[in-house]
């Protein structure tokens, strides 16, 4: 390597136009000698001279020393030629050279504009008088005022809670300050613009969470524009990389170098064809088409999201600007979104569980947990065409659930055919289900269509399926498997599109053991089982059902029944209801028919209902008095607790001893004894 010192005598140092001349001179030397020249100051690493923005960033003033070098020891004359040029007066009189320098400045000016158009940060720039000179679109959105109206006004008249005028006065920057603007919280970096040792204004960069957008800037002087843009580029947190029109990296800001874990000298001057020929930047350079939101994995293992835009000058590609951000921030956002989505899905399932589907199940009255769960399962079953088996005691509303599944399904426009398999004699059930041909048996004077044919494109409800004999079970199984059957006396199979819903109050599992019900039919029917709870297991629904039946029956009978007394309601809730909802409806109809007053009282209820309640209460009182725990009688928890505390106090004689026996604290035993009115003996 050959290196030589030079002293800059130009009164303005290496300002933008002089730097452009030096870059142009370096380009001429490279074209004629094929020699790359490098430059450094006493405080910086050496950089290739063909990077205008990096050269301006050195901030070389009049009288400063710089060092010019080359890696080719035989090209010392090229170094000396550049040293002589650097120590000259930089006066260009050749119009061709002037034009080339101006073109270089023009291209770099557009490069800076394109860089800022890719930033997602809001930017406001003021001059020495605190007058806004630059206001980008991202800042427009934050302050809610168009740039055309903001530019030319005092910054404190436009931006709420601003401190830019204070920074302009003190010359002290403020980093990562929280600032609220029109209800939005921003993170603001305020930096003084210092030129030739004087504060010439202030820049404010507002961190925004919105998507990366293009920003447009207006500048009046190329020199101030370049220096201001350079300062801003050094402070943004997004990584920025700029290529020229031949694909060479001419600028990379500190954020970009940090993201890719590289030094400036390792990137500046390198051609994208060499370091990333298949990358996004090279593709944009060739095609001239922007690529937004590209996911790229760098060589150091860091994954980034990049917005890459071509730099267009007079309709031609003058380079590429790429703005990158670590994907870690996006991943954190995705994790938050996933958590929110999971919560929303859970809430949606809970909503479906507690909400009846489009009134199809409106006739099934109840709000207890077991009813809610059954209806939620029925709603899900309605969304498919799978076979449903409804289990439950007689009078629990199996037909209502079957009807609701049908009308909540896609077959709602088709027929809903009911068949009570237990009410039809076995000899006639086959004809009832599948139909018969004329002359198939005595009395068959014409063809008859069966229930399966009538239910085509709809639903057939086979109630009391457990009462069907085994011979008929075989024929039904074939119809379920093949979705086809033969009419009695027929020779041609009939195909149907039918959904099957079966129901029974029988214990099919016991019937399987006794071989009175076929196991293959059982598994064919038991695709989606629904178990309806008996009324005694959902006692909290009894008041709702009573209110429903009073309204329904009183309207039909034109009787002004207003309700039921508390005593009568307690007895009705306490009754075991072996006939379930059907029995409750019959009782309400009987009572309303016979009564002549507005409220149903205890005397209107059948004696067997009142008698069962009285007998159960007597047994409970007797058991409590005896202190016995009868397996056939279930008492409230307080009764057991009272008896246990009482027995312990009788045996031990003190709260402390009783607590040790019961493995409770002295205070707990004393509190319980006071609650139940017990005394130690």
DSSP string computed for 277-319: TTSHHHHHHHH---EEEEEEE-TTS-EEEEEEEEEEETTEEEE
- Separation between Cα atoms, residue 343 and residue 337, nearest integer Å: 10
Phi, psi of 290, deg, nearest 5: -70, 150
Q: Is 126 exposed, middle or buried (0-12, 13-18, 19+ CB in 10 A)?
A: buried
Three-state secondary structure call for residue 364: coil
> Are 327 and 305 spatial neighbours (Cβ–Cβ below 8 Å)?
yes
Tell me the Cα Rg of the chain.
45
Quote the CA–CA distance of 662 and 657 in Å, as a whole number.
Answer: 9
What CA–CA distance (Å, rounded) separates 38 from 50? 9
**Rounded distance, CA 61 to CA 90, Å?**
14
- Say if residue 387's pLDDT is above 90: yes
Look up the pTM and report it. 0.44
Residue 210: pLDDT over 50:
no
pLDDT confidence of residue 143: 86
Model pLDDT, residue 316: 87
Instruction: Say what the pLDDT of residue 212 is.
Output: 37
Residues 574-596 have pLDDT tens digits of: 888 989 999 999 999 999 999 88
For residue 595, the tally of other CB atoms under 10 A from its CB is 15
Q: Which residues contact 69 (CB under 8 A, 6 or more apart)?
A: 1, 2, 3, 4, 37, 38, 39, 40, 46, 79
Distance CA(417)–CA(452), nearest Å, equals 8
Q: What is the DSSP string of 96-115?
A: HHHHHHHHHHHHHHHHHHHH
Is the C-alpha dihedral spanning 453, 455, 457, 463 positive or negative? negative
Q: Which three-class secondary structure state does DSSP give residue 208? A: coil
The mean per-residue pLDDT over the stretch 15-33 comes to 79
Position 226 scores a pLDDT of: 67
Distance in Å from the first CA to the final CA of the chain: 108
Q: What is the mean pLDDT of residues 495-523?
A: 92
Contacts of 323 (CB under 8 A, 6+ apart): 115, 118, 119, 120, 212, 238, 239, 240, 306, 307, 308
Please report the beta strands in 468-532, taking only residues with DSSP state E, as ranges in sequence order: 484-486, 493-495, 499-504, 528-531
Dist. CA 11–CA 17, nearest whole Å: 13
What region does 238 belong to: left with phi over 0, alpha with psi -120 to 50, or beta? beta
Cα–Cα distance for residue pair 116/232, rounded to 1 Å: 9
Banded model confidence at residue 101, pLDDT cuts 50, 70, 90: low
Residue 240 has pLDDT above 80, yes or no: yes
The pLDDT of residue 118: 60
Q: CA 656 → CA 564, 650, 653, 664, distances in Å?
A: 49, 13, 9, 9
pLDDT tens string 134-180: 788 888 888 888 877 887 788 999 888 889 999 999 889 888 888 88
120-124, 317-321, 677-681: least confidently modelled range = 677-681
Look at residue 462 in the predicted model and tell me its pLDDT: 93
- Name the range with the highest mean pLDDT among 202-211, 340-349, 515-524: 515-524
Give the pLDDT score at 222.
55
Answer yes or no: are the C-beta atoms of 425 and 468 closer than 8 Å.
no
pLDDT at 99 over 60: no
How far from 383 is each of 348, 357, 404, 411, 527, CA to CA, in Å?
A: 16, 11, 12, 10, 14
Does 636 or 558 have the greater pLDDT score?
A: 558
pLDDT of residue 213: 35
Query: Average pLDDT in the 12-28 region?
Result: 76
Q: Which residues contact 115 (CB under 8 A, 6 or more apart)?
A: 229, 233, 240, 242, 321, 323
48 burial (CB, 10 Å; 0-12 / 13-18 / 19+) is buried
Query: How many of the other CB atoms lie within 10 Å of CB of 561?
Result: 20
pLDDT of residue 435: 87
Q: How confident is the model at residue 528 (pLDDT cuts 50, 70, 90)?
A: very high
The dihedrals phi and psi of 377, each to the nearest 5 degrees, come to -65, -35
Rounded to an integer, the average pLDDT of 107-114 is: 53
Strands (E) located in 161-301: 174-181, 184-195, 198-207, 239-244, 249-252, 291-297
- Identify the residue whose tokens are 């402390």: 656
* 33 neighbors 88 (Cβ within 8 angstroms): no
Distance CA 46, CA 202 (A): 30
The mean per-residue pLDDT over the stretch 478-493 comes to 86
Q: E strand or H helix at 197, and its extent?
A: none
**Mean pLDDT on 244-266:** 87
Going by pLDDT thresholds of 50, 70 and 90, the confidence category of residue 389 is very high
Return the bridge partners of 198, or none: 195
SS3 574: helix
Average pLDDT, the chain: 81
- Residue 459: its pLDDT value, please? 93
> In angstroms, how far apart are the furthest CA atoms of the chain?
127
Q: What are the C-alpha distances in Å from 490 to residues 439, 448, 480?
A: 10, 11, 19
Q: In whole angstroms, what is the distance from residue 255 CA to residue 327 CA?
A: 14
Pick 435 or 352 by higher pLDDT. Answer: 435
At residue 214, the pLDDT reads 36
* pLDDT band of 95, cuts 50, 70, 90: very low
Percent of the chain topping pLDDT 90: 19
User: What counts of helices (H) and strands (E) characterise the chain?
Assistant: 28, 25
Residue 559 backbone zone (phi > 0: left; psi -120 to 50: alpha; other: beta): beta
Contact 387, 525 (CB under 8 A): yes
Say what angle helices 16-33 and 95-117 make with each other, to 10 degrees. Answer: 110
Q: Is the pLDDT score of 554 beyond 80?
A: yes
Task: Report phi then psi at 663, rounded to 5.
Answer: 60, 45
Residue 137 phi/psi, 5-degree rounding, is -60, -40
**pLDDT of the residue at 392:** 92
- Tens-digit pLDDT profile for residues 316-373: 888 999 988 887 766 677 777 777 776 776 666 556 555 545 578 888 888 888 888 8
Residues 6+ away with beta carbon under 8 Å from 518: 470, 473, 474, 477
What tens digit of pLDDT does each residue of 53-91 get?
667 667 787 888 889 888 887 788 888 888 888 888 766
Task: Give the SS3 label for residue 130.
Answer: coil
């Amino acid at each position: 390597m050959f290196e030589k010192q030079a002293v800059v005598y130009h009164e303005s140092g290496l300002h933008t136009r002089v730097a452009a001349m030096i870059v142009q001179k370096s380009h001429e030397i490279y074209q004629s000698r094929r020699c790359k020249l490098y430059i450094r100051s006493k405080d910086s690493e050496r950089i290739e001279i063909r990077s205008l923005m990096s050269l301006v960033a050195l901030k070389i003033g009049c009288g400063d020393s710089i060092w010019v070098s080359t890696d080719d020891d035989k090209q010392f004359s090229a170094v000396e030629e550049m040293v002589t040029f650097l120590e000259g007066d930089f006066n260009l009189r050749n119009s061709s050279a002037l034009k080339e320098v101006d073109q270089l400045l023009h291209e770099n000016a557009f490069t800076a504009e394109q860089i800022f158009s890719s930033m997602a940060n809001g930017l406001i720039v003021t001059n020495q008088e605190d007058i806004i000179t630059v206001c980008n679109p991202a800042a427009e959105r934050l302050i809610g005022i168009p740039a055309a109206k903001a530019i030319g006004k005092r910054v404190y008249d436009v931006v709420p809670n601003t401190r830019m005028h204070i920074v302009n006065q003190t010359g002290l920057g403020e980093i990562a300050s929280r600032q609220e603007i029109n209800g939005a919280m921003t993170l603001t970096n305020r930096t003084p613009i210092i030129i030739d040792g004087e504060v010439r204004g202030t820049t404010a960069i507002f961190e925004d969470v919105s998507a990366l957008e293009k920003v447009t800037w207006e500048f009046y002087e190329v020199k101030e524009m370049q220096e201001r843009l350079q300062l801003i580029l050094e402070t943004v947190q997004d990584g920025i990389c700029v290529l020229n029109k031949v694909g060479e990296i001419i600028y990379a800001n500190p954020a970009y170098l940090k993201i890719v874990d590289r030094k400036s000298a390792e990137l500046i001057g390198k051609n994208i064809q060499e370091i990333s020929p298949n990358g996004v930047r090279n593709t944009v350079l060739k095609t001239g088409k922007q690529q937004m939101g590209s996911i790229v994995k760098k060589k150091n293992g860091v994954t980034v999201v990049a917005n890459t835009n071509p730099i267009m000058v007079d309709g031609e590609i003058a380079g590429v600007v790429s703005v990158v951000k670590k994907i870690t921030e996006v991943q954190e956002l995705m994790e938050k979104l996933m958590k929110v989505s999971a919560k929303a899905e859970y809430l949606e399932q809970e909503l479906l569980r507690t909400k009846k589907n489009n009134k199809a199940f409106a006739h099934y009255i109840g709000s207890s947990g077991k009813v809610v769960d059954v209806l939620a399962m029925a709603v899900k079953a309605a969304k498919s065409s799978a076979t449903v088996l409804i289990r439950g005691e007689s009078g629990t509303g199996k037909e209502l659930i079957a009807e609701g599944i049908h009308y909540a399904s896609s077959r709602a426009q088709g027929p809903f055919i009911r068949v009570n398999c237990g009410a039809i004699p076995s000899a006639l059930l086959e004809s009832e289900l599948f139909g018969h041909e004329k002359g198939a048996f005595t009395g068959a004077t014409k063809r008859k269509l069966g229930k399966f044919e009538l239910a085509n494109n709809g639903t057939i409800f086979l109630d009391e399926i457990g009462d069907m004999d085994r011979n008929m079970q075989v024929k039904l199984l074939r119809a379920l498997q093949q979705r086809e059957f033969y009419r009695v006396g027929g020779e041609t199979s009939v195909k149907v599109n039918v959904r099957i819903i079966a129901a029974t109050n029988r214990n099919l599992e016991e019937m399987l053991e006794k071989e009175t019900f076929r196991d293959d039919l059982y598994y064919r029917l038991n695709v989606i089982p629904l178990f309806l709870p008996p009324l005694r297991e959902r006692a909290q629904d009894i008041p709702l059902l009573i209110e429903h039946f009073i309204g329904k029956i009183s309207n039909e009978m034109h009787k002004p029944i207003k309700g039921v007394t508390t005593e009568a309601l307690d007895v009705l809730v306490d009754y075991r209801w072996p006939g379930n909802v059907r029995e409750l409806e019959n009782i309400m109809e009987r009572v309303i028919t016979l009564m002549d007053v507005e409220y149903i009282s205890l005397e209107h209820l059948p004696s067997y209902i009142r008698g069962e309640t009285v007998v159960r209460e007597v047994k409970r009182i007797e058991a409590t008095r005896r202190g016995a725990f009868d397996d056939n009688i279930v008492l409230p928890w307080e009764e057991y607790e009272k008896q246990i505390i009482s027995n312990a106090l009788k045996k031990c004689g003190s709260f402390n001893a009783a607590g040790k026996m019961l493995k409770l604290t002295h205070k707990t035993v004393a509190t319980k004894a006071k609650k139940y009115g017990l005394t130690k003996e």
